[in-house]
Amino acid sequence: MQTSDTTKYYIHANLRADGVVERSDVVGAIYGQTEGLLGEDLDLRDLQNSDKISRMEVDVESQNGSSRGTVTIGSSLDRVETSVLAASLETIERIGPCEASVEIELVEDVRTTKRKEIVERAKYIHREMFDGAAMGTEEMLDEVRKGVRKGEITEYAGLPAGPNVAESDAVLVVEGRADVLNLLKYGVKNAIGVEGTDVPDAVAELSDGRTVTAFLDSDRGGELILRELGQVADLDYVAHPPEGRCVEDLSGEEINEALRDKEPYGKEGGVTDFETEGEEDTSSVEEEQEESLRERLGSVEGSDEAVLLDGDRREVERVDGGAVGDELRSRNGEVESVVFGDKIDQRALDAASAGGVKTVVGTELGPVVKKPLDINVVTESELP
């Protein structure tokens, strides 16, 4: 990208158009629909001529009769002026002959990126280029701790584990290698990491005849692992890190407190979802909810609308598909499901994940590079 030495920020925007458009159409729409909007001081053409903004980088692709793309603009303006300029891009309603929308994804501070590069380079210089630099007491202790932890971690059936897992009568099940290492740092040597939501058979076999405690992060990933553990392993207790914390980041005192306060598995919810009686009730409710989702999809199918639903699948709001991200942020976790009248694309999944949505429904799955693990994606063909 062509930038000047004074560039401070990069404006990153996503665009969508209900038809086939090209780069020249996008550039023309941006210049044409923002002209005169912000006055002479923030006119895009004048700013570009005076090198206060860079030449726009536009990347657009068309598929199945619609277009998606990105726009990147470098800015030498101050933070406020850059913010106003970025917001003006979201007023664009047409690109070429097509209805369209533009949404700002990120305003990147170039100086922050450079500072990170400086920090990384400084760390390398400090580590590698000082000859005979003195090591303080705390640094020596840290190095010893790291060496001890690295030396003690082992493997059990190919999984990261503490050295006592094979013989211990009690086992801690954690999410991954970093968690095992942190527990080793504070003397806990009977932990094993499952390394993902697909719990290995070795962990299920290990639980037979032992006291097993799940010590997982208090997030969606930890919840999914706990649910599968309850299905495939003989689980006795559940321990939780403090709210918003991960096991790999806990101090020794926090680890001891969490393990001291562990609860028998199933206590938090009475009869768990995995017991026979609970499974029958749950499946009945889920079948009714899936039927409701098909009705919701039918009401918006073929449109650019999206239906926002709460935890009981009651309708919260109907919004334009391009406005889902903003609406979810304003709802503060109230929305648990979103039904799109069109394909589910990457933008829809990213907005849903950022808004804490658990289920996304659409006619079919469109171009997706990375599907969030914490979202249940349901297409029309999967509904009863």
Spatial strand order of the sheet with 57-63 comes to: 57-63, 66-75, 9-17, 98-109, 94-95
More confident site: 382 or 102? 102
Say yes or no to pLDDT of 103 above 90: yes
More confident site: 321 or 80? 80
pLDDT, residue 105, reads 93
Rounded to the nearest 5 degrees, what angle is found at the Cα of 233, between the Cα atoms of 231 and 239? 95
Say yes or no to pLDDT of 289 above 60: no
The pLDDT confidence band at residue 14, using thresholds 50, 70 and 90, is very high
The pLDDT confidence band at residue 232, using thresholds 50, 70 and 90, is confident
Tens of pLDDT, residues 212-228: 999 998 887 888 888 88
352 closest CA partner among 369, 366, 365, 339? 339
How far are the Cα atoms of 45, 62, 88, 89, 92 from residue 33, in angstroms, in the given order? 12, 22, 9, 9, 6
214 closest CA partner among 120, 351, 224? 224
pLDDT, residue 373, reads 74
Average pLDDT, the chain: 83
Say yes or no to pLDDT of 45 above 80: yes
Say yes or no to pLDDT of 270 above 50: no
> pTM for the complete prediction?
0.36
pLDDT, residue 87, reads 94
The pLDDT confidence band at residue 198, using thresholds 50, 70 and 90, is confident
Bridge partners, 62 (sequence order): 67
Say yes or no to pLDDT of 294 above 90: no
164 closest CA partner among 200, 208, 210? 210
Tens of pLDDT, residues 138-187: 666 666 655 555 557 888 888 999 988 888 888 999 998 999 998 988 88
- Non-local (6+) Cβ contacts of 369 within 8 A are 346
The pLDDT confidence band at residue 5, using thresholds 50, 70 and 90, is low
The pLDDT confidence band at residue 273, using thresholds 50, 70 and 90, is very low
CA 352 from centre of chain? 9
Say yes or no to pLDDT of 263 above 70: yes
The domains of the chain, with CATH numbers, are: 9-112 (3.30.70.2690), 137-264 (3.40.1360.10), 277-382 (3.40.140)
pLDDT, residue 114, reads 82
pLDDT, residue 268, reads 44
The pLDDT confidence band at residue 83, using thresholds 50, 70 and 90, is very high
Say yes or no to pLDDT of 17 above 90: yes
Q: What would the mean pLDDT of 257-275 be, rounded to a whole number?
A: 62
Tens of pLDDT, residues 22-36: 999 999 999 999 988
Say yes or no to pLDDT of 380 above 70: yes
pLDDT, residue 272, reads 36
CA distance 257 to 237: 14
The pLDDT confidence band at residue 298, using thresholds 50, 70 and 90, is confident
Say yes or no to pLDDT of 119 above 90: no
Q: How much of the chain, in percent, has pLDDT values that exceed 90?
A: 25
pLDDT, residue 276, reads 32
